[in-house]
Structure 1
Amino acid sequence: MDVQSETVPRDARHRVERTRARARYDRDTVHAILDAGMLAHVAFSVGGQPFVIPMLYARDGKTIVLHGSIASRLMDELADGVPACIGVTHLDGLVLARSHFDHSVNYRSVVVFGRARAVLDADEKASALSRFVDALIPGRAAESRAADRTELAATQVLRLAIEDASAKIRSGGVKDNPADLALPYWAGVVPMRTRYAMPQPEADLADAALPASVRRLLAADEAAA
């Protein structure tokens, strides 16, 4: 992955061409945006037919962990190492301008290019699934049962190497046309964020207390509000 933007060749597949001032290529920025999400859109082509599949994911070092059914034809295609592209986006605010043309959103996004490989070793597969659970809620893997041999056999786990990646970020206020500044319309940013609601225990749950991972999640969410 390129660390400095000036090292990205003009013909690089991950080079941002539109609004290049918003582009970031450093590993820390790319990883931070990936780590803040859990849903990616995975794109690849099979026999000339393009596919885009929404999938949960987890970053593990310089790879992205994906999982699905062992019976999935599309997972098999990915496991064969076809070129793939992954997109992750966070919406941070509505940018409301005085003109229709200048409306926008604040966002953080990452596009990753790479090829996946199937994880075949049972121990590595179990470790990848544990990392996946902890990526959803840190600490949750230790609070739940690990996959057994039957479940591991039924699950296809892939590691997609982050070969090339770029981030693109828009933040700040409205970029109105100077000629519109005197117009009598409100302009500004409406911030957006995801909030967690009260946990809903299963009806068949015994007297199990709310786990520490969920309490930490709710506390962090409340502190950020």
Structure 2
Amino acid sequence: MSGTRRRSSRAATALASSPWLLVATGVVVMVVLLVVALAASRGREPETARPADLPATVALPDLPSSPPSRAPVALPAPGAPQLTPRRSDPPPGPTPSGHPASSAAGRDARPESTPPPPPPSPVTGRYRVVNSFDGGFIGEVLLANAAAGPRPWTVRLVLPAGSRVASSWVEGAPQGTSRMSDGVFTYASGVDLDGGASVALRFHLEHTGENTRPSECAVDGAACAGL
């Protein structure tokens, strides 16, 4: 008993003589408690996402490094100002009602130009009856050329109703061509009539009764004289 008491008293004496031992022991105990507390708190915290679990980096669209270039706009050269050409049509004149007429109306109102009529033929004709008899007669168209040179000619006769030309001929000259259609007798010269000359076209008409005149006689479109 006496030995145990002596050891405890020695230990107490040693501890009392060395206070730094108590401080070191307290520090060790606190460090152990802190480690235990940290371990417990890590066990309760949720697991953080691992780098492998993070989504892949989102690819952003490539942006142009510089704005798109625009085509250069051609500017007019410095100088005189550009003027818009204007029509130089004369102003329309007044209409009979006093209002100016439009140019289109003026153009529409112009009379259409017609070609001038051809000059009259220098070959003329004179009609006469040479001989008459029962049921018919012999007629004649005397042709004369007033021109200096030779000219062709055509005689046109409109016959009385029911009559017909039995025969036709040119006196003392080459014969031409004749045609009969719907009561109209036409005779065209075979050769041109010399300038200043004359020739007689004769024809024998039948079934005319007492009528010895055709309804119409013309040479190159001009009426015959003597009717």
Shared fold per TM-score greater than 0.5? no
Higher relative contact order (CA 8 A, sep 6+): 1
TM-score (norm 1): 0.21
Greater fraction strand: 1
TM-score (norm 2): 0.20
Greater fraction helix: 1
